[in-house]
Amino acid sequence: MPEIPPEPVAAIRRFNRFYTRQIGALDEAHLGEPFGLAEGRVLYEIAQAGPNLTPGLLALRTGLDAGYLSRILKRFEGKALIARVRSAEDGRSWTLSLTDPGWAAYEHLRRVAEGAVEAMIGTLASDQRARLTAAMGEIETLLGAPAPGDIRLRSHRVGDMGWVTERHATLYARDYGWDERFEALVARICADFVERLEPAREHCWIAEREGARLGSVFLVQGDRPGQAKLRLLLIEPSARGLGLGKRLVAQCVAFARACGYDEVSLWTQSILTAARGVYAAAGFELIDQTPHMTIGVPLVGETWRLRL
């Protein structure tokens, strides 16, 4: 390994000290809540996980010492925040899930954390927030070699638009019988995105695990100033049930807030029940339903909106 000059090492250590102080990472009660930073992370990981989260997998995802994690889980059990169920696949193991009080605690902590971030960046102009978001994304890209099996979200690159078009066409033909007219619609959306892209206010995220693409979502400018549109949310069948749809939608919403948009809208179809559930869970509201024949089959298009 080549010798690294001292300047970047000192700069990174200085940034670490600044940021941990800025977000209160060392506070005993993070954000004034009855949870430390590690406990909040454990709540988050259980909330985001699928149905097969074991304590061992949770330890890998959080990087916490097994003994320390065990004490956190016991505390959560004592407060009835989590439930353990013996694994159907391995009788020696247990799976973890949040109880109703656990979900309530998680949602409250999420709102408090988002409010703290909004307060931290509230004095920044929209272009400054966009620069900050892009800079953080660059840090993740440069330092974020994911652990084996982890799903990471990255920016689009050459070849991704073709993949987005092909997977939409293939999966919707298989599941709903939609023909090449839908493929042409997706291709046009992708082409418009590439040709008109304004990186400070628009973005595409590709979900990837060990080099394999698992999903996509786009955020683009809407029909009026202040409006953003969420488009082309897709989750591969092999990645469904992992909370990836929620994660992609949350990424879009966070980026839209950072850019200063006042609302995010989207257009979907009434038959896409799984996607509709993700949007509703993220706070979107259904505001319009209109029958149409855009791709040659009778559908009911729906417009959903999230006020920011």
* Percent of the chain surpassing pLDDT 90: 47
* Burial category of 15 from C-beta neighbours within 10 Å (exposed 0-12, middle 13-18, buried 19 and up): exposed
Strands 227-235 and 285-292, bridge-based pairing: unpaired
Confidence band for 11, pLDDT divided at 50, 70 and 90: confident
Kindly report the CATH number that applies to the domain delimited by 6-121.
Answer: 1.10.10.10
- Is the pLDDT score of 29 beyond 70? no
Average pLDDT, the chain: 86
- Is the pLDDT score of 144 beyond 70? no
- Is the pLDDT score of 2 beyond 60? no
Please give the pLDDT value at position 240: 87
In this prediction, residues 80-87 reach a mean pLDDT of: 84
Cross-strand bridge partners of residue 268: 302
Dump strand ranges (E) for 201-245. Answer: 203-209, 212-221, 227-235
Task: Report d(CA 156, CA 219) in Å as an integer.
Answer: 12
Task: Report d(CA 95, CA 76) in Å as an integer.
Answer: 14
- pLDDT tens-digit profile of 252-307? 999 998 888 999 999 999 999 999 999 999 999 999 999 999 998 999 999 999 99
Lowest-confidence range among 117-121, 151-155, 229-233, 274-278?
Answer: 117-121
- Is the pLDDT score of 45 beyond 80? yes
Confidence band for 32, pLDDT divided at 50, 70 and 90: low
Please give the pLDDT value at position 235: 95
| Single-letter residue type at 16 | N
More confident residue, 123 or 220: 220
Please give the pLDDT value at position 187: 97
Q: Show me where the domains of the chain are located.
A: 6-121, 126-307
Please give the pLDDT value at position 55: 83
More confident residue, 97 or 235: 235
Q: Which CATH superfamily is domain 126-307 in?
A: Gcn5-related N-acetyltransferase (GNAT) (3.40.630.30)
Compute how many other C-beta atoms are within 10 angstroms of the C-beta atom of residue 296: 11
In this prediction, residues 100-120 reach a mean pLDDT of: 85
Residue 211: closest CA among 151, 138, 164: 151
Residues 6+ apart with CB under 8 A from 40: 30, 31, 33, 109, 113
- pLDDT tens-digit profile of 155-176? 899 999 999 999 999 999 999 9
* Percent of the chain surpassing pLDDT 70: 89
- Is the pLDDT score of 26 beyond 70? no
Lowest-confidence range among 73-77, 137-141, 216-220?
Answer: 137-141
Please give the pLDDT value at position 1: 44
Residue reference for tokens 């089959």? 297
